[in-house]
Structure 1
Amino acid sequence: MNKEKRRMILERLREANPHPETELEYSSPFELLVAVTLSAQATDVGVNKATRKLFPRANTPQAILDLGLEELREAIKTIGLFNSKANNVYKMCQILVEQHGGEVPENREALEALPGVGRKTANVVLNTAFGWPTIAVDTHIFRVSNRTKFAMGKDVVAVEQKLEKVVPKEFKVDVHHWLILHGRYTCIARKPRCGSCIIEDLCEFKDKTEVE
């Protein structure tokens, strides 16, 4: 895909959604960090359902430590892999209190040192909580980038590196949100909704589908 076509795609996505936001519900960098950690192999809807019960009771690292691991497990038990996620969040809170004064560090290395936090989670937090131009590649973004030929790569790291290279600076803060929402609602996995897609004429996917 050429430079001009990529820019047209980004301009259309921006026009349709000038101020994209994550669908995870949060009111602080810590709440976002917890929500993103819980979202691995789970839906945003499912995470929000759990955090609506958790955050009113405990929405700081110290508050979760005071709540205790068993109560934390109970609060998030509707989410897949809740046992391991609860352990990670609890250990994360211990580190945040002991090493970062109870605050979420605005630092990639420090974030990735936290239990349950990998590159993708760190990218989401840096982008969404702190406004960094990072691009977190999940399964939706990986699919959209390869299917449209916007930024092809054999794995998520390769796609991230390609997106970093080809996305102009003015779009970098928001491109993660545009692509994930596009993959979640339009360029879906099994049968993309090409007929109702605002970038269908620019997309280089060969097997386009009709409107459902």
Structure 2
Amino acid sequence: MVTKTSTVKNMTKKQIKTFFERLRDQRPNPTTELNFSTPFELLVAVTLSAQATDVSVNKATDKLFPIANTPETILGLGVEGLKQYIRTIGLYNSKAENVIKTCQILIERHNSQVPNNRADLEALPGVGRKTANVVLNTAFGHPTMAVDTHIFRLGNRTGLAVGKNVLEVEHRLVKVIPKEFMVDAHHWLILHGRYCCIARKPKCAECVVSDVCNWPERFEFGAARAIPVNNI
């Protein structure tokens, strides 16, 4: 459920600062829930995670990575060999082909290293803007914003970043989030959207930022009315 953008006011700068201070206090060291130990493992995991849960990807890569976790070793498995490890993940046929092609490109063009720039990442099979943003942010510390369904919903619902599509929301987030929060903002938002600001029954009564949220319906889900939102 995404609130209509016309009914939600954009957060003020003060609200946004308070919003991220609270999320930082709640999770001082946020990170992805995908299991990885190298940029290459992260690239593979994020590629596999499209239209799949992190839990399902972790179950597959926990078996795959001890056997093959470099471009050379995964390429050695071949498409059919790789499928045996990831067949429980949605769209595993096309994902296996993309990962194998990616391994070939990394070996041939990038000395088996994951590129540290958007253009080269997005040139890899199966790697779009969101995947590139995740890798750049999580593996290399770039202040990028990967907008998934959770962040898109949260941005529109709270008034943090109102937009009609993921690109509008991404651009708005990058514009309004203070620099001090930007590197970790993606993780704070996705975790908050995944576990608190959920789609059908958001946990507003437990939310640490309900008093700076502009969603008109938050009170119906337990947000305290006594908090002076207009004074923030």
TM range (shorter): over 0.9
Q: Cα offset for 1:61?
A: 0.5
Runs ≥4 in structure 1, deviation > 4 angstroms? none
1:46 and 2:65 aligned: no
Deviations 1:111-168 (A, max 9, x none): 0000000000000000000001111111100000100001111000000000110011
Structure with the greater alpha carbon radius of gyration: 2
Counting only pairs closer than 5 Å after superposition, residues 110-189 of structure 1 correspond to structure 2 as 110-189=120-199
1:210 and 2:222 aligned: yes
The 3-state SS of whatever aligns with 1:144 is helix
CA distance in 1, matches of 2:217, 2:177: 25
Aligned twin of 1:70: 80
Aligned twin of 2:20: 10
1:26 and 2:44 aligned: no
Aligned twin of 2:94: 84
Q: Cα offset for 1:210?
A: 2.8
Deviations 1:158-189 (A, max 9, x none): 00000110011110000000000000000001
Q: Cα offset for 1:69?
A: 1.1
CA distance in 2, matches of 1:92, 1:114: 6
Amino acid paired to 1:200: S
Give the share of equivalent positions with the same residue, in percent: 66
5+ residue gaps, structure 2: 1-10, 224-232
Deviations 1:76-116 (A, max 9, x none): 00000000100110101010011101110101100000000
Q: Cα offset for 1:28?
A: 0.1
Q: Cα offset for 1:206?
A: 1.1
1:109 and 2:128 aligned: no
Aligned twin of 1:96: 106
CA distance in 2, matches of 1:69, 1:82: 10
The structure with higher relative contact order (CA 8 Å, sep 6+) is 2
Aligned residues: 211
The 3-state SS of whatever aligns with 1:194 is coil
Superposition RMSD on alpha carbons, in Å? Answer: 0.8
CA distance in 2, matches of 1:149, 1:107: 30
CA distance in 2, matches of 1:150, 1:65: 42
Task: Give the TM-score normalised by structure 1.
Answer: 0.98
1:200 and 2:210 aligned: yes
The 3-state SS of whatever aligns with 1:129 is helix
CA distance in 1, matches of 2:53, 2:189: 16
5+ residue gaps, structure 1: none
Task: Give the TM-score normalised by structure 2.
Answer: 0.90
Deviations 1:40-88 (A, max 9, x none): 0000000000000110110000101111111101110000000010011
CA distance in 2, matches of 1:199, 1:42: 28
CA distance in 2, matches of 1:140, 1:101: 35
Aligned twin of 2:7: none
